Amino acid sequence: INQMTTVIASGGKLCAPHLIKEATQISNIKNEISECEDLRLRLDTVQLITEGMTGACSTGGTAFPLFNFTPQVACKTGTAEFGDTEDRTHAWLTAFGPSDTPQIVATALVEAGGEGSRVAAPVVREVLDYWFHKR
């Protein structure tokens, strides 16, 4: 999910990700340029997906913990069902920001966590808050 979000955020390029366990680990990542492969996606397709993801993080969207976040971010919530009983779901959210000039992509998966907007969105918000406001 994070890789595909990176493709949209970068305008169609597939780049190597960095995996972190805590928001404070961001300071260990240098502004390095990864080798990227241009997937040659149509620009209008990338723009349409970005608009939809920006809407998900805006009032009326699904990711209410990210409404009014500064700078504006783009995101997608998710709830993945597993197992054979009702109410067994993994929560996830993926986001990039700023939505118009991306600097960071962050994705959280909380196993058996429930809804992405309620459980995973606050995790991603913490990472984004650290990146944009505390580092």
Q: Indicate the domain borders of the chain.
A: 2-134
Among 19-33, 47-61, 77-91, the least confident range? 19-33
Which pLDDT band holds residue 27 (cuts at 50, 70, 90)? low
* pLDDT above 70: percentage of residues in the chain: 90
Report the candidate in 87, 95, 94, 96 with the shortest Cα–Cα distance to residue 115.
Answer: 87
- 32, pLDDT greater than 70: no
pLDDT of residue 83: 80
Which pLDDT band holds residue 24 (cuts at 50, 70, 90)? low
Q: Mean pLDDT for the chain?
A: 90
More confident residue, 8 or 20: 8
pLDDT of residue 75: 98
- 33, pLDDT greater than 80: no
DSSP state of 76: E
pLDDT of residue 54: 98
Digit-coded pLDDT (tens) for 64-116: 999 999 999 999 999 888 887 777 899 999 999 999 999 999 999 999 998 89
Fold of 2-134: Beta-lactamase (3.40.710)
Bridge partners of residue 105, in order along the sequence: 96
- Checking phi first, is residue 82 left (phi over 0); if not, alpha (psi -120 to 50) or beta? beta
Report the candidate in 105, 47, 101 with the shortest Cα–Cα distance to residue 76.
Answer: 105
